[in-house]
Chains A and B, each alone.
Chain A
Amino acid sequence: GNSVTQMEGPVTLSEEAFLTINCTYTATGYPSLFWYVQYPGEGLQLLLKATKADDKGSNKGFEATYRKETTSFHLEKGSVQVSDSAVYFCALSGYTGGFKTIFGAGTRLFVKA
């Protein structure tokens, strides 16, 4: 079945550091891929998405590229801020009788001033 694996956290970085959170997936066909973010005390919200191979999703300085050859969708940001401290979830949605979304376990990011 479909599955998502993302790097375990927590990840602790200093402000302005480069961020990478790894995400790999297993799926049949051509799923859509997502990153969701959950800020402290808030609900989950979509951060970015990519719907086909080689697409790059981007938002708020974050980027992720849909790599079908490596089945990956790693999240990157060139310079993190304290306000980026949150939990990040990688997810996929592929057709298996319906477009059910599968989430990774989440990666908690702490950014220090």
Chain B
Amino acid sequence: GAGVSQSPSNKVTEKGKDVELRCDPISGHTALYWYRQSLGQGLEFLIYFQGNSAPDKSGLPSDRFSAERTGGSVSTLTIQRTQQEDSAVYLCASSLALQGRTEAFFGQGTRLTVV
């Protein structure tokens, strides 16, 4: 596609339920990021995929959070047993990750509300 696509754009879920957020990166981009942005706050790094390398999971806040990237393309972020503090906008970005071509392109985000 022309840009990074995320779905759903909005998700309301009950506390304790599991949710899956999807990201379709720009075709050919080998790097993919997940960030979280709470209201009025900055970007919180969650996880980074680069090609076939092991993902950098250093930003995942707890073991309730996990992500996978299938076939080097689509990625799914899963949050198990959601809590109210998980409410935020979840942003996905992708990048060519080549020298001099490392800028990240962002999707519009998924706004998650846990009630």
Nearest-Cβ distance from residue A2 to partner chain B, whole angstroms = 12
**In the assembled complex, A22 has its CB within 8 A of some CB on chain B:** no
B interface bracket (residues with beta carbon within 8 Å of A): 20 to 34
User: B50 contacts A98, CB within 8 Å?
Assistant: yes
- Cβ proximity bits B73-115 to A, threshold 8 Å, 1 near / 0 not: 0000000000000000001010101111011111111000000
- Count of interface residues, chain A, beta-carbon cutoff 8 Å: 24
Residues of chain A with a CB closer than 8 A to B103's CB = 32, 34, 46, 49, 93, 101
8 Å CB contact of A51 from B93, B100, B104: B100
State whether B43 touches A89 (Cβ < 8 A): yes
Whether B106 and A104, one on each chain, are in contact in the complex, defined by CB atoms closer than 8 angstroms, is: no
A44 within 8 A of B: yes
Q: Which residues of A contact B31 (CB under 8 A)?
A: 98-100
A97 located at the interface, meaning its Cβ lies under 8 Å from any Cβ of chain B in the complex: yes
Please tell me which one of the listed residues B45, B48, B107, B109 contacts residue A98 in the complex, with CB atoms under 8 A apart.
Answer: B48
Question: Which residues of chain B come closer than 8 Å to A102, judged between CB atoms?
Answer: 45
Point out which of A44, A45, A51, A97 has the most chain B C-beta atoms below 10 A from its C-beta.
A44
Q: Is A43 an interface residue (CB 8 A)?
A: yes
Q: Are A98 and B51 also in contact (CB < 8 A) when A43-B107, A43-B108, A45-B106 are?
A: yes
| Complex contacts, A97 vs chain B, CB 8 Å | 50, 53
Q: Is A105 located at the chain interface by the 8 A CB criterion? A: yes
Q: Is B33 an interface residue (CB 8 A)?
A: yes
Q: Is A39 an interface residue (CB 8 A)?
A: no
Q: Do A98 and B97 touch (CB < 8 A)?
A: yes
B42 on interface, CB distance cutoff 8 Å = yes
Convert A87-110 into 0s and 1s, putting 1 for each residue whose CB lies closer than 8 angstroms to a CB of B: 001010101011111111110000
14 further A-B contacts with Cβ under 8 Å, apart from A44-B106, A98-B56, A99-B50, are A34-B103, A36-B104, A43-B91, A43-B106, A43-B108, A45-B106, A46-B105, A49-B103, A89-B43, A95-B99, A98-B31, A98-B48, A98-B50, A103-B45
Residues of A at under 8 Å CB distance from B?
A: 32, 34, 36, 42-46, 49, 51, 89, 91, 93, 95, 97-106
Nearest first, the 9 closest Cβ-Cβ pairs linking A and B are A98-B50, A93-B102, A105-B42, A99-B102, A106-B42, A44-B106, A99-B97, A43-B108, A103-B43
